Amino acid sequence: MPLRYWALIIGLGAVWGCSFLFNAILIREISPLWVSAGRVSMGALICWAYFVATRRRLPADRKVYLQLLVLGILNYAIPFALFPFAEQHVASSIIGVINGMTPMTTVIVSQLWPGGEKASGNKIAGVIIGLIGAGLLASPSFGAGPTEIVALLAALIATLCYALTLNYARRFKGLDSATVASSSLTGAALVMIPIALIFSGIPVITRPETWGSLFGIAIFSTSFSFLLVYWLLPRVGATNLSLNTFITPISAILLGVLVLHEGMQPIQIAGIAVIFIGLVVIDGRLLKWRRPAAA
C-alpha cells in the first residue's frame, strides 16, 4: 500500500481524536445536545456542497431515505451527544480511549446480528482483554459517585451505536458514498435541532474558541473525515482502514494532557495499555506476523 495512504489513515485517526478536544471546549458554553446538533448541521452543509460540486444524483427510491435517517440517528445524532455529555464528568482523554473500544463492541454486535460476521478465537479473546482494560480504566470512578459511572456508560453506549451502524450500513453498499454521508447527516440534523431547542433552548456563543471548535469538529472531524473514509475504503480495504482505531485514542490522550492539562492515575494508564493489547489481539495481524518467527 502506498505511503500516502498510510499517512491518510494516521491523519484520519488523529483528526477523530481531535473531536474529544473540541467537545471539551464546546461544552464550556453550549449543551451536549447543541454540540451534536451543530456538528451534524454544519457537517451536512459541507457534504452537500461537495455533493453538488461533484454533480452527484440522489437515489429515486424514497424508502432509502428512511433508512438513511435511521443511520443518521445511530451514527451521528446519538453518539455525538453522548460523548460531550460524558466529557462533562470525565476527562476527554479517558472518553477518547473508551471510543477506541468500538472494535470490541462491534465484535459483540456482529456476533448477534442476523448474517453478521461471527467472532474468531482471537476476537473473543480481544474483547475479554478490552473489557478488563475498561474495568481498570473506570476503577477510579467507582468511588467517585454515580455521575462518573453514568458518563462512562454513556460513552460505551456511543460505541455500541457505532457497532450497530457498522452492521446496519451494509445495506448501503450499492449507494453512492457522498449520498450516504450527506443524507444521513441531514437526517441527524432534522432530529437533533428540535430536540436541542426543546431541552436546551437557543444557544448563546460568545467565545471565539467555541466557534473555532464548532467549525473544527464539523469540518475536519465530521464532513472531511467521513468523505475521506468513503474515498479510502475501496483503495485500502476495511482491515487497513480500521488501523485508525489505534491512532484516535492516542490523539485524544495527547491533546487532553498537553492542551487541557488532564491527569491520569497509574491504574488508568494500565487500563489503557490493556485495551490496546485487546485491540492488537482483535486485529490479529501482529500475532500472525510473529508466528513464523517463533516456529
Q: How far apart are the first and last CA of the chain?
A: 27
Question: How many domains, the chain?
Answer: 1
pLDDT at 294: 45
DSSP state at residue 29 = T
Contact indicator for 152, 86 with CB cutoff of 8 Å:
yes
Q: Is the pLDDT of residue 46 over 90?
A: yes
Region of poorest pLDDT, from 94-108, 112-126, 177-191:
112-126
Whether 122 contacts 284, CB under 8 Å: yes
pLDDT of residue 100: 85
* Res. 289: pLDDT tops 80: no
CA-based max dimension of the chain? 65
Contact residues for 266 (Cβ-Cβ < 8 A; gap 6+): none
199 in Cβ contact with 33 (< 8 Å): yes
Burial (CB < 10 A; 0-12, 13-18, 19+), residue 61, is exposed
Confidence of residue 269 (pLDDT cuts 50, 70, 90): confident
**Of the given ranges (54-58, 88-92, 223-227, 248-252), which has the lowest mean pLDDT?**
223-227
Range of the structural domain that residue 110 is part of: 3-294
pLDDT confidence tier of residue 105, bands split at 50, 70 and 90: confident
The three cell numbers locating residue 96: 477518547
Name which residue leads in pLDDT, 227 or 252. Answer: 252
Is the distance from CB of 251 to CB of 92 less than 8 angstroms?
no
Predicted confidence (pLDDT) at residue 103 exceeds the cutoff of 90? no
Residue 70's contacts (CB-CB under 8 Å, 6 or more residues apart) are 168, 187
pLDDT digits 0-9 by tens, 159-174 = 999 889 888 887 887 7
Q: Which three cell numbers stand for residue 254?
A: 495527547
With a cut of 80, say whether residue 240 has pLDDT above it: no
Measure the CA–CA gap between 188 and 41, rounded to whole angstroms. 8
Ranking 42-56, 80-94, 280-294 by mean pLDDT, the lowest is: 280-294
More reliable by pLDDT, 209 or 166: 209
Task: Calculate what percentage of the chain has a pLDDT beyond 90.
Answer: 45
What's the whole-model pTM score? 0.88
